[in-house]
């Protein structure tokens, strides 16, 4: 059985509002908006609020001068492991040439503010990973990888894990959020600041009815498609999470940015590795790590007070 952290409590007091609930550093899927009691909406393709998604990981490659170059995204899933896409690391097989940055919003300032840089102890690529073509369309099978970090991740307000789904759970027709530092278009620079966008999760029939359906059908059992008009993940977003918000106000990762045809081209939805098809494998590979508990719904009591903001420091409990 996987170990689960003990929860710790805090009270956050905001302007004209008191929100009483357990701020569980060892709960997964809690966004910044939940923790500070604010209401916000995602504006498609726009910069996210700093630290809104505290599980976001920026994977970087170092050149011979140790200058970093962002290559992919990923997500914190427990106190030692990062979940990402297998194709992100196949061409970068030397562990010492890669790094993981957590608590980062600005991809150009990795040594600034709350950002933490981690070295990687081990890379685990799904054993059935594979690439192929159907006609001119590229597809990727079992596009999943894990990074085991050298140092334990200490959770706080700025770095927290994302929840994983149940095995084989489907989320067809849900609105989902995709985040990353990728390009805004097929040609152009990567984003400096973390971006967020809303896409719709398509059903199997909608996926294979699209223009590249023949390629999607090849990997349909392990992937899901998501898109919206003019909205898509793009190059550089690979490995990042596709997430849904569930009742109880926490987020679950349902996909990993994998492949697609261009970026936001009508009729060509983005393709994501389906996390619920791989979650058993993920747990088997990470038995030496500690997972945080999924939150339970909590009633919020509100009353008028003067402006204060209190967030207790909570340490990991082993």
Asked if the model's pLDDT at residue 98 lies above 60, the reply is yes
Asked if the model's pLDDT at residue 184 lies above 80, the reply is no
Under the banding of pLDDT at 50, 70 and 90, the label for residue 165 is very high
Longest dimension (CA), the chain: 65
Question: For the segment 270-283, what is each residue's pLDDT rounded down to a tens digit?
Answer: 889 999 999 999 99
> DSSP assignment, residue 90?
T
238 is catalytic: yes
Q: How many domains does the chain have?
A: 1
Under the banding of pLDDT at 50, 70 and 90, the label for residue 83 is very high
The pLDDT assigned to 110 comes to 77
Asked if the model's pLDDT at residue 181 lies above 80, the reply is yes
The pLDDT assigned to 309 comes to 30
Lowest mean pLDDT among 37-41, 67-71, 175-179, 260-264: 37-41
The pLDDT assigned to 134 comes to 77
Residue 86: give the domain boundaries.
12-291
31, 48, 126, 143: the catalytic one is 143
What's 151's domain CATH number?
2.40.10.10
Under the banding of pLDDT at 50, 70 and 90, the label for residue 212 is low
Lowest mean pLDDT among 43-47, 62-66, 127-131: 43-47
The pLDDT assigned to 13 comes to 30
Asked if the model's pLDDT at residue 211 lies above 80, the reply is no
51, 68, 87, 126: the catalytic one is 87
Residue 49 sits at the vertex; the CA angle it makes with 107 and 174, to the nearest 5 degrees, is: 105
Report if residue 54 sits inside a domain: yes
The pLDDT assigned to 91 comes to 64
Report if residue 200 sits inside a domain: yes
What percent of the chain has pLDDT above 70? Answer: 70
Report if residue 308 sits inside a domain: no
**Is the Cβ–Cβ distance between 140 and 130 less than 8 Å?**
yes
Beta strands in the chain (DSSP E): 3-4, 10-14, 17-21, 46-47, 56-62, 68-76, 81-84, 98-102, 116-125, 130-134, 137-141, 145-149, 175-180, 195-201, 223-227, 241-246, 250-259, 270-274, 290-291
Report if residue 306 sits inside a domain: no
238, 258, 273, 276: the catalytic one is 238
The Cα 85–Cα 173 span in angstroms is 23
pTM of the full structure: 0.81
Report if residue 304 sits inside a domain: no
Taking residues 138-167, report their average pLDDT: 94
Report if residue 316 sits inside a domain: no
143 is catalytic: yes
The pLDDT assigned to 229 comes to 46
The pLDDT assigned to 232 comes to 47
The chain-wide mean pLDDT, for the chain, equals 77
Report if residue 309 sits inside a domain: no
What percent of the chain has pLDDT above 90? Answer: 39
SS3 for 207-253 is HHCCCCHHHHHHCCCCEEEEEECCECCCCCCCCCEEEEEECCCEEEE
Report if residue 69 sits inside a domain: yes
Asked if the model's pLDDT at residue 302 lies above 60, the reply is no
- Dig out the tokens for 277 from the structure: 């098809």
Taking residues 234-259, report their average pLDDT: 85
Asked if the model's pLDDT at residue 173 lies above 50, the reply is yes
The pLDDT assigned to 192 comes to 84
Question: Which is more confidently placed, 289 or 219?
Answer: 289
68 is catalytic: no
């Amino acid at each position: 059985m996987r170990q689960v952290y003990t929860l710790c409590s805090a009270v956050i007091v905001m302007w004209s509002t008191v929100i009483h609930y357990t701020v569980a550093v060892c709960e997964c899927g809690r966004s910044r908006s939940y923790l500070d009691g604010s209401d916000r909406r995602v504006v498609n393709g726009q910069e996210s609020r700093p630290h809104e998604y505290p599980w976001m990981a920026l994977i970087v490659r170092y050149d011979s001068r140790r200058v970093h170059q962002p290559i992919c995204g990923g997500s914190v899933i427990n106190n030692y492991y990062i979940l990402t896409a297998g194709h992100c690391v196949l061409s970068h097989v030397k562990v010492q040439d890669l790094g993981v940055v957590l608590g980062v919003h600005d991809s150009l300032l990795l040594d600034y503010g709350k950002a933490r840089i981690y070295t990687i102890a081990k890379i685990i690529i799904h054993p059935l990973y594979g690439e192929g073509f159907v006609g001119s369309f590229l597809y990727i099978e079992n596009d999943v990888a894990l990074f085991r970090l050298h140092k334990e991740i200490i959770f706080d307000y700025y770095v927290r894990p994302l929840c994983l789904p149940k095995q084989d759970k489907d989320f067809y027709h849900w609105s989902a959020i995709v985040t990353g530092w990728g390009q805004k278009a097929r040609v152009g620079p990567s984003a400096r600041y973390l971006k967020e966008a809303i896409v719709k999760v398509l059903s199997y029939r909608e996926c294979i009815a699209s223009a590249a359906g023949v390629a999607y059908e090849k990997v349909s059992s392990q992937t899901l498609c998501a898109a919206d008009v003019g909205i898509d993940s793009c190059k550089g977003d690979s490995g990042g999470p596709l997430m849904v918000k569930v009742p109880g106000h926490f987020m679950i990762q349902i996909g990993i940015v994998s492949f697609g045809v261009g970026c936001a081209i009508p009729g060509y939805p983005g393709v994501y590795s389906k996390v619920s098809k791989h979650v058993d494998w993920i747990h088997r590979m990470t038995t030496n790590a500690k997972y945080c508990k999924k939150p339970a719904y909590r009633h919020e009591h509100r009353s008028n007070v003067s402006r204060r903001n209190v967030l207790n420091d909570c340490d990991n409990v082993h």
